[in-house]
Each structure stands twice: as C-alpha cells, then as structure tokens.
A and B are shown apart, each in its own frame.
Chain A
Amino acid sequence: MGYSLNPDQTAELLNRLAEDYRIYAPKRFPKQGRYSDTDIIRYDRIQTPDEIVWDQKSDYPAKEVISPIQQALFYFTEDEYRESKKAKKPVLLLARPCDITAQLVQEKIYAENGGFKDLYYDRVHNKVKFAVMDCGGGDDTCFCVSMGSNKPENYSLAFKFDENGLKAEVSDDCFADYFDGMPEDDFTPEFVEENELKVTIPDLSDRDVRLALKSHPMWKEFDKRCISCGSCTVACSTCTCFTTRDICYGDNPEVGERRRVTASCQVAGFDQMAGQREIRSTAGDRMRYKILHKFHDHKARFGDRHMCVGCGRCTHMCPEFISISATVNKMADAVDEIKASLADGGNHVE
C-alpha cells in the first residue's frame, strides 16, 4: 500500500511511530566535521522529520545503531559482575539500501559464524525494523550496483522524502495502522540501477593466484600513502571487528566494566600478541589483508556475497584520498598480470 504525505502528515506519522519505536535516521551534527566549519552526518535518534538528512549520504554507516562503536558487555564490582541491560523499545531504522544489505554481512558474523550467536548483536538486531530510504543514486564514490547491494530485501517500509513531504510504501502489515487516515497514493520504491562508478572484482578462486597477489608490489604503494588511521573501518558499512577492553572507573580499581570497542585491521597492533612481534607490520600488508577479506575471504567462507556493499564511505573518509574502488580495480589488473604470467610458465612478478 502506498501513501503520499504532506509535511504535517509526515510529522504526525513520525509521532505515531515514535509511540512504539525509537526512530533512528541520518542526522546532521553541525560543525562536528573533520575540517573547520563542516558538519558530520551520522545515524542517531530523531524526533521530527526535519532532523532527517535525506538528500545526502551519511558520513558514517547505519550499523552503528545495531553494533555501536563502543558498548558495555559486563559491569564488575569486585568479583561480582552482571550483564549490561538491553533496551526494551524496538527500533525503526531509516537506512539506505546499501546499509540494509550490509546487515546481511553483520548477521553472518555476529549471529552465525562458528555456530555462536552474539548476544549483544542479537538482542538489538531482533528489535530492529528497517525503512529503506530512497537513494537518488548516491555520489561519485558509490558502486552498490557492482556489489549487488542496491536492492535490499529485508525492509518493512519504503520512504521517499522530498520538499513536499513523504511518499511511503508499507510492505510489513504491522505498520499499516500508523497510516490510518493518511492519503493513499501509488508509490513503489525505485532503486539505483546504475552507478557512475563500476568496479571489477577479480576471480581469486585459484590459490596460486592468491598467493602471488599477496606478494605483488601493488601493496607497497600503500606503505607510503596509507597512514593506518582506521578511518575506513569506522566508516565501513560491513566491518565487524572489535576488541574487548576492561576498564576501572576513576580511582576505584574494584569497580569497572568489560567493554567492546570497534577495532580496525588497519591500525597498528591489531594482530599483535603480548610479547611478540606484529605480524602485519606495514600499511601495505594491512591494506592487502583488508582488501582480500572484503573481496575474497568473506565470500569464500560464507558463500553468499562479498564483504563490501559499495557505499563508498571509506573512500570519503580517507584522509589520504585512497579510493577503495580504484584499489580493487588495480587489484583486478594485478590479477590479470599474474594469471598471464602463470600461464606463461610461472615467472610472475615477485
């Protein structure tokens, strides 16, 4: 069922939804950007329609609502401890198609990998309903069509905001009542069919090709360009890695918590064990590890899709202007070169 709402009706709809849901959407935080006088757009709880940034890509992904950058796992008092509490009210998350598709990756890892279900992910994820927000085609860093993440399947509502209000489609009946008395209209969501940017993902199924790629000189370029800051990971729609960190409160060593904090394989120390040397000690090694995970390893393990939705946020956030799409295309060239060389008798570039 489709609807067309004017601004007042849109506000009324959000009021009704807010009775039962905590509503999260991309929101502007003025003057909090990386450079002077720039804003940041990230997902946060909203109350009114004018808080929703619908005409611009958010700097940070929607995953933060479900797996926040930092959260308490346990609270400790001396040797006693208790689990952190969960929020009771369900969440309505207004997210872009790429963000919703990215949840399929999060689910694989947090809910399925190894047969362990992560409680902290599961207890939030179970309470989230998605409203897919129309995406006008993104920007020049987007390549969702190449990654097959332009048409999400799991959403309850579809929203298209414009200056005149909101067009909406209800695909999950549990939301029908909230639209009682709202003007009906023909509306079906449209998804991006083509991006300006296209990415070729090389076939890495051959072990010898992969091994040769790992020692290919293309990664050395990043020793100079990448500063291992981890901005790309924090901006990534799919990255799931974290570190467990215990802390004490203030000056009392008997009270504290065990926390989960987002971790990046791009930051020094990610693989370093106590008393041992770092395994991937150069920016190039770390970049190679990330790119192969995103465009080979994840899919090799789980079979369904790559660990990238082509949202381009990492490219946006990189202070060194490293483009993930350019990197993948470069890798595709390196793979062609390696394959030609292996076919030619194995004299590949070392």
Chain B
Amino acid sequence: MSNNNPLQPIPCEILNVKKESTHEWTFRVASDADVDHGQFMQLSIPKVGEVPISVSGQGDGWLDFTIRSVGKVTNVIFEKEAGDTLFLRGPYGHGWPVDEFKGKHLVVITGGTGLAPVRSMVNLCADNPKTVKDLTLISGFKNEDGIVFQNELDKWKEHDHFSTTYALDNDEKEGWSTGLVTTFVKDIPFDTFGDDYAVVVVGPPIMMKFTGLELLKNGVPEEKIWMSFERKMSCAIGKCGHCRIDETYVCLDGPVFPYTKARYLVD
C-alpha cells in the first residue's frame, strides 16, 4: 500500500451508537484524528460506498458522527453496532473560524441536523464560558421526531451565558416555540452586541438562504455571517468535481464559508 494515497481509508472501531431520533444516530468512533470544529470526514463501508459526514463531537481518542439514514451507505452504517468497523479518512475542509469568534457575542442558528456541525463548537463554548461573551442559540426542527441532541439542548438551556430558543416548525411542544427559525431572528438583541458579534447559520439550503436574507434585513452585515454547506462529494480532495460551485470547491474551500462568499455561490 502506498503511503501517499490520500484516498486510503483507515479502519476504526465503533465505540457506541446513540439513537438521537428514528433516523438520526450518533456513532462514536475510535480515532486520533486532529479535527477542527466544523470539519468533515469521509466515512465508508467497503463494498458499499463512501460518504462525507461532519464531525459532530470530539474527545480524547474518539470522534462523533451524527448520521441520517437516507441513502445506500448510511443505511448500512445503521446496521453497525459497537465493536464493528467503520472506515475513515480526513478530516477535510475548513471549519469554523473559532479564533475569530473568541471573546465575541456568538449567535448560532440551526435547522434540523444542521446542529451537528456546530455541536462541538457550542459544547466548547458551554464548557469554557470564557470562549465567547455569550451565545444565542436558535435551533429549529421539523417536528418532535426530528430533534437531535436532546440532552445537550436541555443542558445548554441551563448555562447562564446561553440564551436558547428551540422551535418546531408547526407543532407545539412544552417549553418550545413554534415557527421557522427565521421568525426568531428579529428577537436577537443585535443592538446590544455593538460591533462585537458573529452569526453562524447551518441547515438545509433553503433555510440558510432565507435566514441569511432575514439577518441582512435585521441590519447584520454580511461579513459577520458564516454558513456551512453540504454538497455531494466522492473524493473530498478537489478531484471528483461533484461539490464544485463556480470556482469554489466545497470540500477544499468550505464547508464553512463567510456569507460574503456563500451569498454569491450559485450552483
């Protein structure tokens, strides 16, 4: 085997599987890979295929991947359990510019499983309260079945420097709001943040599009907004071409983009 083959996957043991919802499970995998918050890796099952998945958590010797069973590969991953093997390569791409967010008011707006790519950064802010001044989290889900990271959502609510809004698109739930995340943007106290804040948006493309426009409408300049993209990929190293938008490769230049760039990317 060559030692210079960037496509070579490494077999890694699944440590445990946590069922977040019916179709979204978090797989904890043994790995020493050094991952930035918001980066992704290529997960594969030999003879089935390879998929890009963002790292949703990390710790000493392990990585979390929160996966939705919607395709050929992810369906087979869902047949795996602790002790089984997943093949990994990466991490890839550019994650969140955490150093730039440090010491600022941070606003995080997520839709559905879009919470996964920001989860480790939000936990960093929760566990180390001095990382940011405060954190405003707006997390929306389609319905109760789609809620992921329930334990952490509950835990984050308790932090003094966190202000959380959890919402279901149409349904009612105790202690939760009802409505699309865009409807809560106007309640964010941007006027109290001065110039010292950043906004992170992750979710389905349509949610990110309208949240971006809503933020602009509320006077947030585009250079303060960051988004994470998701595109089809085969290689994750800028060769296969599937994720290209204009002259930008999502695998190399993203998946996290400043809105100054993201806004003008037209597939």
Chain B residues closer than 8 Å to A254, beta-carbon distance:
47
Contact of B240 with A243 in the complex, beta carbons under 8 Å: yes
Looking at the complex, which one of A214, A248, A271, A292 makes contact with B242 (CB distance below 8 Å)? A271
On whether A256 and B47 interact (CB within 8 A), knowing A270-B232, A275-B71, the answer reads: yes
Number of interface residues of A (CB under 8 A): 54
Q: Does B131 contact A (CB under 8 A)?
A: no
Chain B residues closer than 8 Å to A3, beta-carbon distance:
none
From residue 79 to 133 of chain A, which have CB atoms closer than 8 A to chain B?
79, 81-83, 109-110, 113-114, 116-121
On whether A114 and B252 interact (CB within 8 A), knowing A243-B234, A265-B241, the answer reads: yes
On whether A83 and B5 interact (CB within 8 A), knowing A211-B266, A244-B234, A247-B47, the answer reads: yes
Contact of A116 with B234 in the complex, beta carbons under 8 Å: no
Contact of B247 with A300 in the complex, beta carbons under 8 Å: yes
Looking at the complex, which one of B6, B50, B68, B264 makes contact with A244 (CB distance below 8 Å)? B50
Number of interface residues of B (CB under 8 A): 46
On whether A274 and B70 interact (CB within 8 A), knowing A119-B6, A242-B241, A256-B46, the answer reads: yes
Report how far A119 CA is from B3 CA in the complex, Å: 10
From residue 77 to 97 of chain B, which have CB atoms closer than 8 A to chain A?
85
Contact of A246 with B239 in the complex, beta carbons under 8 Å: no
Q: Does B8 contact A (CB under 8 A)?
A: yes
Tell me how far the C-beta of B61 lies from the nearest C-beta in chain A, rounded to whole angstroms: 21
Closest to B253 in A: A114
Closest to B49 in A: A246
Contact of A244 with B2 in the complex, beta carbons under 8 Å: no
Q: Does A301 contact B (CB under 8 A)?
A: yes
Most chain B CB within a 10 A radius of its CB, from A118, A240, A257: A118
Tell me how far the C-beta of A318 lies from the nearest C-beta in chain B, rounded to whole angstroms: 20
Q: Does A272 contact B (CB under 8 A)?
A: yes
Chain B residues closer than 8 Å to A292, beta-carbon distance:
246
Q: Does A343 contact B (CB under 8 A)?
A: no
From residue 289 to 313 of chain A, which have CB atoms closer than 8 A to chain B?
289, 292-293, 296-298, 300-301
Contact of A275 with B70 in the complex, beta carbons under 8 Å: yes
Contact of B71 with A244 in the complex, beta carbons under 8 Å: no
Chain B residues closer than 8 Å to A79, beta-carbon distance:
11, 46, 85
Contact of B70 with A245 in the complex, beta carbons under 8 Å: no
Q: Does A73 contact B (CB under 8 A)?
A: yes
Closest to B241 in A: A241
Q: Does A207 contact B (CB under 8 A)?
A: yes
Q: Does A76 contact B (CB under 8 A)?
A: yes
Contact mask B133-151 → A, CB, 8 Å, 1/0? Answer: 0000000000000000000
**Count of A-B contacts judged by CB separation below 8 Å:** 130
Chain B residues closer than 8 Å to A69, beta-carbon distance:
none
Report how far A280 CA is from B267 CA in the complex, Å: 7
Q: Does B237 contact A (CB under 8 A)?
A: yes
On whether A116 and B237 interact (CB within 8 A), knowing A214-B266, A271-B267, A279-B267, the answer reads: yes
Looking at the complex, which one of A116, A121, A265, A280 makes contact with B238 (CB distance below 8 Å)? A116
Contact of A248 with B47 in the complex, beta carbons under 8 Å: yes
Closest to B6 in A: A116
Report how far A245 CA is from B51 CA in the complex, Å: 11
Tell me how far the C-beta of A115 lies from the nearest C-beta in chain B, rounded to whole angstroms: 8
Contact of B247 with A298 in the complex, beta carbons under 8 Å: yes
Q: Does B159 contact A (CB under 8 A)?
A: no
Q: Does B4 contact A (CB under 8 A)?
A: yes
Q: Does A174 contact B (CB under 8 A)?
A: no
Q: Does B124 contact A (CB under 8 A)?
A: no
Most chain A CB within a 10 A radius of its CB, from B2, B246, B264: B246
Chain A residues closer than 8 Å to B1, beta-carbon distance:
82-83
Chain B residues closer than 8 Å to A296, beta-carbon distance:
247
Closest to A119 in B: B5
Contact mask B169-184 → A, CB, 8 Å, 1/0? Answer: 0000000000000000
Contact of A114 with B7 in the complex, beta carbons under 8 Å: no
Looking at the complex, which one of A271, A289, A301 makes contact with B232 (CB distance below 8 Å)? A271
9 interchain residue pairs of minimum CB distance:
A274-B71, A275-B70, A241-B241, A114-B238, A113-B238, A114-B252, A116-B237, A301-B247, A256-B47
Give chain B's interface residues, CB within 8 Å of chain A. Answer: 1-2, 4-9, 11, 44-51, 68, 70-74, 85, 205, 230-232, 234-235, 237-242, 244, 246-249, 251-252, 264, 266-267
Contacts A114-B252, A119-B6, A211-B264 aside, 18 further interface pairs with beta carbons under 8 A come to A74-B7, A110-B239, A114-B237, A116-B237, A117-B4, A118-B237, A118-B239, A211-B266, A241-B241, A242-B235, A242-B240, A244-B240, A263-B234, A263-B241, A271-B232, A272-B232, A279-B267, A297-B244
